[in-house]
Structure 1
Amino acid sequence: MTADSLLTPAPGGAAAGTGDPGPKKRRLSLPMILLITSGAIFAGVIALSLVRVMTGANDLTSSGATHAALQAAVPIGLAGLGGLWAERAGVVNIGLEGMMIFGTWFGAWGSLNWGWAVGLIAAVIGGALGGLLHAVATVTFGVDHIVSGVAINILALGVTRYLSSLTFANEEGGGVNQSPSVEQPPDLSVPGVTWLTEGLESKHWFLVSDLAGIVRGLLTDVSVLTIVAVVLVPVTFYLLWRTSFGLRLRSVGEAPHAAETLGVNVYLYKYYAVVVSGAIAGLGGAFLSMVAADIYREGQTNGRGYIGLAAMIFGNWRPGGLAAGAALFGYTDALQLRGGTTSIHALLLLISGILLAVGAWQVYRRKFVIGGVAIGLSVLAAISYFFTDQVPVPFVQFTPHVTTLVVLALAAQRLRPPAADGIPYRRST
């Protein structure tokens, strides 16, 4: 028996006793996945471009909105990536918020005293310590994963306030709930992008200007930490899905007792996963205090750890889907932060079109109830757009959270978490 057999269904599992092993699920190749992903992204850009032309909401695909969306998506994506590592090993990590808080504080402290590079290392260590604490509680002592995670979130608030009173409160411009200004990581730009795209974006042409704005927003004034965050997505995929280490770690989250029979140290791999989870979440916290701002402030995470967890669930516990979820939440967050009442209002038209397409597809599949509900909501969104001039400001501020709830509700039926996720494990005797 090999380690691969842990994740391979037994022959005839779906149709045991009939002699028919059932239909074999086809796996998509990497080029096909990239082709489908590129097509979906291009279709989304075309849809946004159509809405922009019809509504005049030019900020939908502007370089400023794209850059702000990237800034908003990175900490959410890093939190979700941290959650992915833990949950693939069977440990629910509600404590991502607290680990991000540790990252914000340690990142600012390290950057203030020794520069941005040390700040990033300190943030990783701070988040990893939070992950280690969660691992000790859940893996070694068998504490309920949710209880441990909530305790870490509460502990992080108190610990960082205490540490601030010892350090930042004694610095000029600092206090018990904030730090002085800290050194930020450098920004990088692809040479020539601004010169090539600035004029095209200002023309507001269909699709061409939209592509120019998106390219400019993604490739100019990009922080080093943003690049690190983007690289971590394919690195995580490679480590977890293309290496024997990743296979063992995922087997621990799917069938820990079966993994144990093959000689896998289940406890050790759970520790690996949860500590790495905390380190990545800490890096997300550092982004908030060192890139999104040049200062640490209490409450800076503002629930992004929880939204990152939602992005992970939306992505079905996979890095690519997680990145898409983070981009979606980051985009809506960016629009509301830029005061985008007009842009959010224009999105009602896009939502109406998407719901209409979903409803038509469900009706075609003879799922009339779901299709009817989707079409009804499409009509409601269209009416809201044509009979109002703008979306109320409180709703605009709540848009990222509404998006989180709606996306999770729509995605719930296709989700498959790791089989042993959140289930206490004890070594066989």
Structure 2
Amino acid sequence: MTAVQLTKGAGTPPPRSAMAELFLGGGPARRAAWMALGLMLLFSLARVISGEERLTAAPTISLALGLAVPIGLAALGGLFSERAGVVNIGLEGMMILGTWGAGWAGYQWGWQGALVGGLVLGAVGGLLHAVTTVTFGVDHVVSGVAINILAAGVVRFLSELLYDEDTGGGPAQSPPMKGDAPEFTVPLLSEGLRHVEERHWFLVSDAAGVLGGLVTDISWFTVGVVLLIPLSFFLLWRTSFGLRLRSCGENPTAADSLGVPVYRFKYIAVVISGALAGLGGVALVYYADIYREGQTDGRGFIGLAALIFGNWRPGGLAAGAGLFGYSDALSVRSETAVVALLLVLAFLLLGVAVYQAIRRQLVRAGVALVFAAIAVTGYLTIEEPDGSLLSFTPHLITLLVLSLASQRLQMPKADGLVWRRGEN
């Protein structure tokens, strides 16, 4: 080997493994990896201090994933609509239409029919929103609110029209769905992770519980929804279709001058938005095996909040949906675990306070510190939470996270504006 080759080799760093590249490399992947590790440390610490094993138990994670799916689908629907410049407050109404369509079609043809029925009725709601906002120029918020009100009345009317005692349904619910949506469990991996989780080792058992929840009793529908997140990112940020759609939400006049059919893309985006929200209703029917009036319980609005929390990005909205789904799952699985979640929230807020203090944002640091103190006080004083606290906890956590994330939000510039061709 020559001296030149030795010199070149001495200056070349050794190759890193894939895991090292994930944590030491640059870009969003590194930030996501460090964030996931930090959250696991917080939850492990909270589990050890509180003794609440259900914080990271596999059944809790599996339930959280299932509860996050309808919220994530509503948020994903809002992403397509708002990236095209149409605010979709009507996500709740489109999800209501999806639940009714899934309940009716599931009663007729099983889980496959429920999938198609919810998607179609949700798309119809999106089409109605597109007609009123894009064609007739109605204010987006007014149109969305009207769709929410109209959807609730329409499904009640259809239930009274089509269901009676002979069918097993009624004005407020459908007959049970024929058959369950298929699920799967990875046998050896699930059992191995469960054995590690039962050891209660710090961090290791918590990671095993989280991974175990992702491979145990998971619906294939849930897998498809998870795959929609990277697929949506690829479609919107890596294809010419996505570039044109996003240009309609940033500067529709400039897009129109370049030959982009703005009206057509807005229609496509809003119909896709309604179809995805309708699939969120399908997820709720799969979970309960039946349609019930009021089944959405405001999840369309929470999906909109998750979209804003995620800064109108697929990965961010998935994190927001996961946050709400996890807190909702804890309220179902264990009352005392919800109190332990306040300890996790306190640790997180303390970290935010330190970060803001380093940036010399003393007011924000002080606010975060005050909320951290309130969370710690709640953890120390609340022994048996009542039902109102259990039901409000997911909403409270979502509001707190949204308030902390609100400083970095950048919505599409033309989002919510009524646009007319030839007018600036």
Q: Is TM > 0.5 for Structure 1 vs Structure 2?
A: yes
Distance 1:387 1:287, change over 3 A: closer
Mapping of residues 412-427 of structure 1, within 5 Å: 412-427=406-421
Aligned to 1:374: 368
Aligned to 1:137: 132
Deviations 1:215-239 (A, max 9, x none): 1211111112111111111111000
* Cα separation, 2, equivalents of 1:360 and 1:317: 27
* Cα separation, 1, equivalents of 2:81 and 2:44: 38
Amino acid of the structure 1 residue aligned with 2:348: I
Amino acid of the structure 1 residue aligned with 2:389: F
Aligned to 1:37: 32
Answer yes or no: is 1:264 the counterpart of 2:270: no
Aligned to 2:3: none
Aligned to 1:196: 192
Percent of aligned positions that are identical: 55
Answer yes or no: is 1:306 the counterpart of 2:301: yes
Q: Tell me the CA shift for residue 396 of structure 1.
A: 2.1
Aligned to 1:255: 251
Deviations 1:105-140 (A, max 9, x none): 111211211221122012111100000000000000
RMSD, aligned CA = 1.6
4+ residue runs over 6 A deviation: none
Amino acid of the structure 1 residue aligned with 2:418: P
Corresponding residue pairs, total? 398
* Cα separation, 1, equivalents of 2:275 and 2:168: 28
Aligned to 2:343: 349
Aligned match for 1:215, one of 211, 231, 238:
211
- SS for the counterpart of 2:288 is coil
Aligned to 2:159: 164
* Cα separation, 2, equivalents of 1:38 and 1:414: 20
- SS for the counterpart of 1:295 is coil
Q: Tell me the CA shift for residue 392 of structure 1.
A: 4.1
Between 174-183 and 128-137, report the one with greater CA deviation.
174-183
* Cα separation, 2, equivalents of 1:40 and 1:402: 22
Answer yes or no: is 1:323 the counterpart of 2:318: yes
Distance 1:31 1:78, change over 3 A: farther
- The 8 Å contact of residues 72 and 318 in structure 2, kept in 1 or not, is answered as yes
Amino acid of the structure 1 residue aligned with 2:305: A
* Cα separation, 2, equivalents of 1:115 and 1:348: 41
Q: Tell me the CA shift for residue 170 of structure 1.
A: 5.4
Deviations 1:32-53 (A, max 9, x none): 3223212211221121011101
Distance 1:31 1:225, change over 3 A: farther
- SS for the counterpart of 2:255 is helix
* Cα separation, 2, equivalents of 1:218 and 1:98: 30
Distance 1:119 1:385, change over 3 A: closer
Aligned match for 1:297, one of 292, 300, 304:
292
Q: Tell me the CA shift for residue 171 of structure 1.
A: 4.1
Aligned match for 1:224, one of 220, 227, 248:
220
Amino acid of the structure 2 residue aligned with 1:348: L
Mapping of residues 13-412 of structure 1, within 5 Å: 32-169=27-164, 171-182=166-177, 183-289=179-285, 291-338=286-333, 340-412=334-406
* Cα separation, 1, equivalents of 2:351 and 2:371: 12
What TM-score results when the alignment is normalised by the length of structure 2? 0.91
- The 8 Å contact of residues 171 and 180 in structure 1, kept in 2 or not, is answered as no
* Cα separation, 1, equivalents of 2:221 and 2:399: 28
Deviations 1:76-105 (A, max 9, x none): 000000000000000000110111111111
Q: Tell me the CA shift for residue 299 of structure 1.
A: 0.5
Between 344-353 and 228-237, report the one with greater CA deviation.
344-353
Q: Tell me the CA shift for residue 272 of structure 1.
A: 0.4
- The 8 Å contact of residues 323 and 398 in structure 2, kept in 1 or not, is answered as no
Q: Tell me the CA shift for residue 388 of structure 1.
A: 4.0
* Cα separation, 2, equivalents of 1:239 and 1:231: 12
Between 199-208 and 246-255, report the one with greater CA deviation.
199-208
* Cα separation, 2, equivalents of 1:293 and 1:319: 27
Amino acid of the structure 1 residue aligned with 2:114: G
Amino acid of the structure 2 residue aligned with 1:355: L
- The 8 Å contact of residues 316 and 417 in structure 1, kept in 2 or not, is answered as yes
